[in-house]
Structure 1
Amino acid sequence: MKKKKIFGIPKNVFLLGIVSFLNDMSSEMITSITPSYLIEVLNVDKLLSGTIMGAIESLSSLFKVIFGYISDKIRNRKVFVSFGYFLSTISKGALAFTHSWLDFLFLRVLDRLGKGIRTAPRDALIAESTKKTGKSFGFHRMMDTLGAVVGPILSIIILELLSNYSANFSYRMIFLLSFIPGILSVLLIIFFIKDTDKNLKKIIMGKSSLNSESLKLFLFVVAVASLGRYSYAFTIWKVYDVGYTVIQGLYFYIIFNIFYAITSYPIGTFSDKFDKRMFITLGFGIAALASLIFAFADSLWMLLLGFIFYSVYLAIEETIPRAYLAEIAEGFEKGTVIGAYHTVFGVFVFPASVIAGWLWQSYSLEYSFLYATVMNSLAMFLMILEWVLKWKS
């Protein structure tokens, strides 16, 4: 039976895009103010701030391979997707009642656990619902990032409306209001998203792609690149370092997400026509360039250039690797393979932010970004080397 489409997008993919739009709207209402909340309200120092952001970025990924594997075994993606989004929604609203960095970290880790539970099964569900993986993952990333545009705008509006109140009160109101789009996304999953055809249960177990040398090498490169993947918070702290205010920092973040959103879908669609590894290699190079610009940024135009390049890098690296792995993974292990990718990323992105935070506190933000430049350049070189060796053989 022909799968139903909405605006040329498979129905499941389209609806999951709406879910991600609502959830990321909720998330980005919070993440856009987190850097200033940690320093201004909770009085956390630079090293600890970097460590907390690294933990938040990393811990969700540690669970992704586990729940990707379980969803492969029981062939039910929806239960993990819905529960993961629900857990994240509850934890975000509860941030309004935090009073120390410890309870803040606990709730953010709970949110990331929700992400860890849902991400690999959701990505596998997208992959199983489409034949054009690049286009579908690009659409999903675009919708996710459009939510990341709306979220900070809502935060700005709330901060302006509550300008006569303390920052402490304003931030807590944002945390509470973030619950609304989050719970709408959960209801959409429960009532409208469908698992893929139950015939998937009949997929015959075959040779695992996890044992292939090319996948192992790719995951090694991912590990190297992840060591240079600093939290988005460092770009916001750079904006403050140059001399801009919290609200002005939110405007930079909105510009970043606009470019992220408008480039994700065309990049994903275009990648279906070429070798996806070429795009991944280019992404590492763009990441190195963005980090180099951030290192020496001391003006409006340099900050804007840094955010634009960083947005294009994320549009590539948050879209193409998933599509690439969905193509090379066997049908019975898509959740496991995609989860393995996320887990490798999570293991190594945590020390990346700790190192960046230490360099910031011990020297300056310039050194944090220069370190990221080196690691992303190394990842790009390794991808090129893999291409050369494969060509010679």
Structure 2
Amino acid sequence: MDKEKKIFGISWNVFLLGLVSFLNDMSSEMIAPIVPAYLTSVLNVGKLASGSIMGLIESLSSLFKVVFGHISDKFRQRKVFVTLGYGLSTISKGALAFTHSWWDFLSLRIVDRVGKGIRTAPRDALIAESTEKGKTGKSFGFHRMMDTMGAVAGPLVAIGLLALFVKYPADVAYRRIFLLSALPGALSILIIIFLVKDTGKEVKKKIRGISALRNRNLKLFLVVVAIGALGRYSYAFTMWKAQELGYSIVQSLGFYALFNVIYALSAYPIGVYSDKVGKKVIITAGFGVATLAALTFAYAKTLWMLLAGFILYGVYLAIEDTVPRAYMADLAKDFEKGTIIGAYHTVFGVFVFPASAIAGWLWQNYSLKYSFLYAAAMSAFAMILMMTMVKEEKS
């Protein structure tokens, strides 16, 4: 690993992995905003089933993250898992063009999430190993910024493609977008193969110590992660909220793009700031913002409230998708970074599925308002627990 070679103040490896995530997320977000409508209007899947499917999709990848994080620690190979993971996701997204039932759709989305599960912990470990001490927030912030810039570009490309395919039936337009989404994903794989350098072999296998998994703070934090995840509703619920208020799918894509712009603009400075003031403090604030976002969506009836909801949602995810990863990377020893980061992702993912299933049930039996109120309650609980942890650390 060439630690001296830097661009924008970060290592070349971190920059390349950011570019890879930009392209892959552009690919993913070309299809993400149309998936809710595709499920309900093309495949005719019900509300509870739609919420459960979206939650299952979000959750499944995390079941593999600790496993492949641990394997990458054992074999000191990060790049091969990163390549395989992105490859599976790219193929599965393009193949969605040929789905005709909820089962076809779910099977391919599972493949996509398995790909994410394979790559995420090894990739995050590779970022951590490519970063100088005390700068993990900055590196992960940059990575999330690039990832989310792809999420900004993706919906905008989708809007352009929907306009281009306006004369076609909705299902035909959706399928063409699914197929085209594989192109930026394929480019990201080429960057990994030919430009990204592996770092795992450079960590000596003989280095051992007491695992961070025995750390009380880490265990408590994973409990908070689980509770916070129970309040983590899928982005699809925000899209359904916009549609409930009478906005079209194209207009909903505009809201989604706004959310991702806020996310992208927030992630990097939040990551840098967390290195200075402490990651626990920022994570605590993130759960507070999450509570406000959910409450805003619950009671939104006007354009301005809806916009405020998407803005708060963007800031919340910028914090909670960036700082916890850096915090776990700081706690992990050199010989177990993949395992520890994978443990975080797995705990999070296991509890994300019931979160969206519960939100879907509340939507079907009551209204979307109650789905968001439930999310607000869980986020507030997680915030209170984090405040307790921060207070204990200072006392």
State the alpha-carbon separation in 2 of the partners of residues 388 and 177 from structure 1.
50
> For residue 5 of structure 2, what is the amino acid of its counterpart?
K
Which of these residues, 317, 320, 335, is aligned with residue 332 of structure 1?
A: 335
1:270 aligns with 2:273: yes
Cα distance change of structure 1 residues 205 and 258 upon mapping to structure 2, 3 Å threshold:
same
Return the letter of the residue paired with 2:353: F
Match of 2:255 in 1: 252
How many Å separate the matches in 1 of 2:393 and 2:146? 36
Q: In structure 2, do the counterparts of structure 1 residues 262 and 203 end up closer, same or farther at CA, with 3 Å as the change threshold?
A: farther
Instruction: Report the 3-state secondary structure (helix = DSSP H, G, I; strand = E; otherwise coil) of the residue aligned with 1:142.
Output: helix
Report the alpha carbon displacement of residue 9 of structure 1 after superposing the two structures with TM. 1.8
Residue segments in structure 2 that go unaligned for 5+ positions in a row:
none
Between 279-288 and 193-202, the greater mean CA deviation after superposition: 193-202
> 5+ residue gaps in structure 1?
none
Deviation of 1:2 after TM superposition, in Å, equals 4.6
In structure 2, give the amino acid aligned to 1:113.
Answer: V
For 1:229 and 1:273, how far apart are their aligned partners in 2? 27
Aligned pairs (5 A) from 1:1-393: 2-131=3-132, 132-196=135-199, 198-392=201-395
| Partners of 1:75 and 1:201 within 8 A in 2 | no
**Matched-pair contact (CA < 8 Å) for 2:43–2:102:** yes
Aligned-partner SS, 1:3? coil
Tell me, what secondary structure is at the counterpart of 1:194?
A: coil
Kindly, what percent of the aligned residue pairs are identical? Answer: 68
2:130 maps to amino acid: S
Question: In the aligned structure 1, how far is the partner of 2:63 from the partner of 2:205?
Answer: 29
SS in 2 for 1:195: coil
CA distance in 2, matches of 1:307, 1:197: 38
CA distance in 2, matches of 1:387, 1:2: 33
Higher deviation after alignment, 1-10 or 228-237: 1-10
Q: TM-score, normalised by structure 1?
A: 0.98
Post-superposition shift, 1:60? 0.3
Higher deviation after alignment, 191-200 or 179-188? 191-200
The one-letter amino acid paired with 1:151 is G
**2:44 match: secondary structure:** coil
Structure 1 pair 265–203 and aligned structure 2 pair: CA distance change class (3 A): farther
Q: 1:321 to 1:42 in 2, by over 3 A?
A: same
**Partners of 1:203 and 1:331 within 8 A in 2:** no
Say if 2:65 and 2:342, in contact at 8 Å, map to a contact too: yes
Q: Which amino acid aligns with 2:331?
A: I
Once the two structures are TM-superposed, the CA of residue 385 in structure 1 deviates from its matched residue by 1.6
TM-score normalised to structure 2 length: 0.98
Secondary structure of the 1:355 match is: helix
CA shift for structure 1 position 270: 1.1
Give the alignment's Cα RMSD to 1 decimal. Answer: 0.9
Task: String of CA shifts for 1:18-72, please: whole Å, max 9, x gaps.
Answer: 0000000000011111011101100011000000000010000110000000000
